[in-house]
Amino acid sequence: MNDSSIKKIKIIIPIFIMIFLSACSQPKTVSGLYFDTLISITTYDNTSQEALNECLQLCSDYELIFSKTNVNSELYAINTRASSLNISEAPDVYCAVLSPELYEVLNTAIEISLDTDQAFTPTLGQVINLWDYKSDSPNVPSNCDIDSALSHSDLSSLSLNPADRTITISDSELTLDLGAIAKGYVADQLKKYLAEHGTREAVIKLAGNIYCIGNKYGQQYSIGIQKPFSADPEPVTTLKVSNTSVVTSGIYERYFEADGVIYHHIIDPATGYPSRSDLTSVTVICDNSTMADALSTAILVMGKEKGIEYIDSQSNVSAVLIDENGNLHTCGSYFNQTASQQ
Ligand code: AMP
Ligand code: MG
């Protein structure tokens, strides 16, 4: 190759790079505080600003359905037994018609609860309310209070009727808590909305719930998994993904310490106490974010052995487990495919 050809190449390559970069859309981000969490949506294509703004409106609408603490939410009305339909003979039995969204999430929650031996339980509200992680001086609840709250956490007190979309609750003290599944559902709905509006490349983040739509400028997304209890921003491992949800539940996300013991926010429904499994973090990879959310919580409660067995029994669900010694364990089709590609 002579000098003049090399010069031409040196000129042509930067021109190509400039044309390529100008063809790429600039990333656009919207964010807001919903569900006590910073939610952000970033697009890497020509999604309209209106569609992004509508995503925040959807978050606000879903908060008015699923929030346990917002006094105007549908879940709050159910938990406070507002406006019963009074169709039951028994005075203590509560009945109400649900919105299609709350019905769908509760129905999925019951299915996953039964499938996970109730490691995930959407009726733990009474127990969860005893553990006040947000307080400046949190207390460990008494055994007696925990036992009493547990006695009002029975999944069988709850039933749904698809014919008229009603919920029936036979225990007047039962309280629903959808904190381990609702953000996953919202991620799925935002993904659906964006896909219907032509979005091909975007990432939706709701705290530990991430949905990757397509790729990022044609390359897979790199999703880092945080080291439990570490201030070090360096991830312990990074997953390369596209078109899927990646959801992490970790005991380091919310906890307090008393007498040298860590009391975290993921409750073992069998005891009413924070789970004492051998896992500190569970990341589930699955294109259904509702399922990924509920399962990351459930696997954390199940522990390593049962959790891996469960994931291996599912199709299209994979997971990264971090145990109490900081060791990583991977399972599911994502890792089998990645290994076979190497
Ligand atoms: P996540 O961060 O998705 O694991 O959800 C944790 C939140 O789910 C907690 O803050 C509680 O509101 C709720 N939760 C805790 N333990 C359970 C459990 N075993 N099953 C269902 N929900 C739970
Ligand atoms: Mg969860």
Query: pLDDT tens-digit profile of 38-63?
Result: 999 999 999 999 999 999 999 999 99
Instruction: State the alpha helices, DSSP H only, in 151-282.
Output: 182-196
Cα gap 137→145, rounded to integer Å: 18
- CB-ligand 1 contact for 281 (6 Å cutoff): no
Q: How confident is the model at residue 22 (pLDDT cuts 50, 70, 90)?
A: very low
- CB-ligand 1 contact for 179 (6 Å cutoff): yes
The residue written with tokens 């009002």 in the block is 152
Q: Which letter does DSSP use for residue 254 in this model?
A: S
- CB-ligand 1 contact for 293 (6 Å cutoff): yes
The residue-averaged pLDDT of 115-139 equals 93
For residues 1 and 10, the answer to whether their CB atoms sit within 8 Å is no
Residue 324 in this model has a pLDDT that exceeds 90? yes
The residue-averaged pLDDT of 130-154 equals 93
Cα gap 329→342, rounded to integer Å: 18
Say which amino acid occupies 41: I
Residue 1: per-residue pLDDT: 58
The residue-averaged pLDDT of 261-267 equals 96
Ligand 1 centroid to residue 223 C-alpha, Å: 22
Q: 12 or 24: which carries more pLDDT confidence?
A: 24
Rounded (10°) CA dihedral 253, 258, 260, 266? -30
Two tokens, residue 336: 């089998």
- CB-ligand 1 contact for 153 (6 Å cutoff): no
Residue 340 in this model has a pLDDT that exceeds 60? no
- CB-ligand 1 contact for 118 (6 Å cutoff): no
- For the CA of 293, the nearest atom of ligand 1: 3
- Mean pLDDT, rounded, of the chain: 92
- CB-ligand 1 contact for 120 (6 Å cutoff): yes
- CB-ligand 1 contact for 121 (6 Å cutoff): yes
The residue-averaged pLDDT of 120-145 equals 93
Residue 336 in this model has a pLDDT that exceeds 90? no
Mean pLDDT lowest for which of 19-33, 186-200, 285-299, 309-323? 19-33
Cα gap 134→148, rounded to integer Å: 22
- CB-ligand 1 contact for 248 (6 Å cutoff): no
Mutate to test the pocket of ligand 1, among 35, 68, 124 (most ligand atoms within 8 A of CB): 124
pLDDT digits (tens, 9 = 90+) for 156-180: 999 999 999 999 999 999 999 999 9
Q: Which letter does DSSP use for residue 27 in this model?
A: P
CA of 120, nearest ligand number: 1
For residues 173 and 42, the answer to whether their CB atoms sit within 8 Å is no
Number of Cα atoms under 13 Å in the Cβ half of residue 313? 10
CB atoms within 10 A of CB 241: 18
Residue 7: per-residue pLDDT: 61
Percentage of the chain lying above the pLDDT 70 cut: 90
CA of 177, nearest ligand number: 1
- For the CA of 207, the nearest atom of ligand 1: 2
Return the residue whose CA atom lies nearest to atom 22 of ligand 1.
Answer: 180
pLDDT digits (tens, 9 = 90+) for 75-117: 999 999 997 676 666 778 999 999 999 999 999 999 999 999 9
CA of 298, nearest ligand number: 1
Residue 132: per-residue pLDDT: 84
Mean pLDDT lowest for which of 6-15, 139-148, 180-189, 265-274? 6-15
Percentage of the chain lying above the pLDDT 90 cut: 84
Residue 342: per-residue pLDDT: 47
